[in-house]
Each structure stands twice: as C-alpha cells, then as structure tokens.
Amino acid sequence: MQIWTSPLDISPDFDRSVVTFGVYDGVHRGHRAVLTRAVDIGRELGWPVIVLTFDPHPATVHRPEAHIRLVMSLQDRINRIETLGVDALYLQHYDAAYARATAAEFVRDQLVGQLRAGFVVVGHDARFGAGNTGDEAVLRRLGTELGFGVEIVGDRCDAAGERWSSTRVRAALATGDVASAAQILGRPHRIHGTVVHGARRGRELGFPTANLSGDDLGEVPADGVYAGWLVRHIPGGTAEEYLPAAISVGTNPQFEGQERTVEAHVLGRSDLNLYGEPISIDFVSRIRPMLTFGSVDELLARIDLDVLETADRLGVPPAGRVPPGSVQAS
C-alpha cells in the first residue's frame, strides 16, 4: 500500500479511483464494512482504492479541551487498513486552515481533483466540510454534478441494535470492559510500549513482570487485573510471539505507588529478559478491579488465583509462582 502525504506523492498511473474517507480510529468492524465494500467496488471496476484519513484527529483541533485519546496509534491504523487490500492511503494533516474548506470544496478539490474519485464509499454517519455541513444528501448531489458514483454503507450494530463506533470502544475501555471493546473491534484491544525497569517487587514475590509506563502507550483500560497476551515482535519481519500474561494496570496501591503503570506477568516464565524491548499488550478479559489487601500474604494469595483465572480464560496450561532466584532479567 502506498502512503501519500501531499499532492506531489499521488501516483500519476490512474485516471479514476474508488475513494473512502474518515478517521477510522480503531478500524473496528463498522469501519471494516466500509473499507471492504470500497475494495470490492474497486476490484469490480478495476480502479485503485484510496483511503483518505486524517491526523491529528479532527476533534482535537476543534475541541482541544476534550482530550480525546485515540483507540490505536497512527501506525496501527495504517497497518490495519493495509490488511484489507487498500491500494493507497492519503494521510491528510488536519488543522484549522484545512477545516475551513466547504463541503463542495472538499469534494471537488480533494476527492475529485486530487484523488480522481470516480466512486466514493462512506458510512451512513460520514460528515465533511466546514461545520460538518456535508452529509449523504450533499455527497449524492455532488456526485451527480461532478460525475462520480456514491455508495452509503449502513451502520453495523450489535445484537441489541447498538451501533459499533470508536466512541463506544473508548467508553468500554474507560470502564475496563475490554471484552466489549474486542467485540466492536473484532480483535483484542492492543497497546504498545518499551519494557522499563520497575521496583522489581514482582520478581521477589514470584511473579516477575514486564513494566510499561508513560503517556504514549495508547488507550490504557481502567485500573484492574486482566488476562491477555504479551506480544513480542520478531526483528526483521512481521512475525509475532504471543505469550499468555496476567496484566495489572494501576498505581500499585498495595505499596503506595503514585505512577500509573502497566505490568504484565508471563505465566510460568522466569527466563525472559525484555528490558528495552518494544512489545505489545493485548487485553482479552478483565479479572477484577485494583484492590488493596490487608497484608502481602493476602495479596499473594489473590495473585495466585488471578494467574489461574488468566490461564483458564486464555485456554492455556496453569502456572504458579516462579522461584525468585530463577529470574534471568537483569
């Protein structure tokens, strides 16, 4: 998939294209319905399929006080879109000047003028142009005037009829409901980070952890203990290694911690030296909220249960504490 960031990048090797546009944060199941339909139409017509997406998120420009956190990183968004068979992605820098274009200007100048749209595919909720004045009716009218086809993909909903959306994913993550987030996304929610040194209490207690911290991990779910996967990325390729993990998110109140961190214990493993390694964490299921116990022994008894519950939810063999002296990370 080609990545374009300016009109000069656009390939000259096509006359007409199928275009879809949107932020596509999370590339959830509703997004994929739109993207897949665009790809299908492109293959039928023999035209390249182009995704126009925006960075930063428009809401952060129009409502900076809202502090909207993205479900996934920009690179993850690009990677997910590429897997659907899209030919090119135009990454549009979004700022106040760009946002002043009217709906007609956006369609005429960028979709048709730059991207040579012969067909436009969007979701039912697509809005565009200054003040979000562009909608389905406006797009169809402009399609007739400018000579391009339009297809509107209907909302995709859960069994209760509630629409899948990035907003719902964020709301689920805010309460720790990672299972519901995964239903909307079509896969577990993932964050990324580099393993850093922590207080090393975990290894002393028989549960060594890979610790992530900072503000750039992605949308971290609510404090609590989760079952999930620590994902190692094999250098030099796209292969990944998935390791079953019990994941703690929070400030570690048992030891009066202050900094919010993500700590992942790979079940039964003491031979991993992950310091400095970039990893991902996939959240599968929430086990419990973050708690403070009356003693360290009570904490350990609860962690023993958490680790067994993690193995059960992930469908892997159970594992217990590891001997502190066997931990190989330095």
Closest by CA to 82, choosing from 122, 32, 129, is 32
Q: How many angstroms separate the CA atoms of 181 and 183, rounded?
A: 5
Spatial CB neighbours of 75, under 8 Å, sequence gap ≥ 6: none
Cα→Cα distances 170→8, 25, 127, 129, 246, Å: 35, 10, 20, 25, 22
Picking from 153, 180, 211, the residue at the C-terminal end of a domain is 153
Quote the tokens at residue 295: 């003693």
Q: What is the pLDDT of residue 325?
A: 63
Domain that holds residue 199: 189-326
Q: What is the pLDDT of residue 218?
A: 82
Domain count, the chain: 2
Residue 48 forms beta bridges with which residues?
none
Q: Are residues 122 and 220 in the same domain?
A: no
Q: Is residue 114 included in any domain, yes or no?
A: yes
Residue 9 lies in a domain: yes
How far apart, in whole angstroms, are the C-alpha atoms of residue 27 and residue 129?
Answer: 22
Instruction: Give domain status of residue 172, yes or no.
Output: no
Give the amino acid at 175.
Answer: T
34: left (phi over 0), alpha (psi -120 to 50) or beta: alpha
| Residue 39, H or E segment | helix 29-45
Instruction: Kindly report the three-state secondary structure assignment for every residue of 79-137.
Output: HHHHCCCCCEEEEEECCHHHHCCCHHHHHHHHHHHHCCEEEEEEECCCCECHHHCECHH
pLDDT, one tens digit per residue, over 151-194 is 999 988 888 888 999 999 999 999 999 999 999 999 999 999 99
pTM: 0.89
Q: Are residues 40 and 130 in the same domain?
A: yes
Can you read off the two tokens belonging to residue 270?
A: 């003491």
d(CA 7, CA 5): 7
The confidence score (pLDDT) of residue 99 equals 96
- What single-letter amino acid sits at 106? F
Q: Are residues 142 and 198 in the same domain?
A: no
User: Quick one: 56 and 114 in the same domain?
Assistant: yes
Say if residue 122 is in the same domain as residue 252.
Answer: no
What confidence tens digit (pLDDT) does each residue in 88-129 have? Answer: 999 999 999 999 999 999 999 999 999 999 999 999 999 999
- Point out the domain boundary residue: 153, 177, 199: 153
Pick the last residue of a domain from 131, 153, 175.
153
Q: What is the DSSP string of 136-192?
A: HHHHHHHHHHHT-EEEEEPP-B-TTSPBP-HHHHHHHHHTT-HHHHHHHHTS-EEEE
Predicted confidence band of residue 64 (pLDDT cuts 50, 70, 90): confident
Is 161 inside a domain boundary? no
Percent of the chain with pLDDT over 70: 93
Domain assignment present for residue 173? The answer is no
Pair (8, 144) in one structural domain? yes
> Is 86 found in the same domain as 9?
yes
Alpha carbons 177 and 159: distance in angstroms, whole number: 17
d(Cα 227, Cα 287) in Å, to the nearest integer? 7
- Averaged confidence pLDDT in the chain: 91
Give the separation between CA 330 and CA 321, rounded to whole angstroms.
19
Same domain for 218 and 143?
no
47 and 144 inside one domain: yes
* 146 and 251, same domain (yes or no): no
The answer to whether residues 121 and 230 belong to one domain is no
Residue 85 lies in a domain: yes
Are 284 and 314 spatial neighbours (Cβ–Cβ below 8 Å)?
yes
Lookup: tokens for 106: 């956006």
What's the CATH code of the domain at 217? 2.40.30.30
Domain containing 80 — which CATH number?
A: 3.40.50.620
Work out the average pLDDT over 222-245. Answer: 90
Answer yes or no: do 194 and 128 share one domain: no
- Sheet containing strand 117-123, strands side by side: 2-4, 88-93, 49-55, 17-21, 117-123, 149-153
In a domain, 170, yes or no: no
First to last CA, the chain: 41
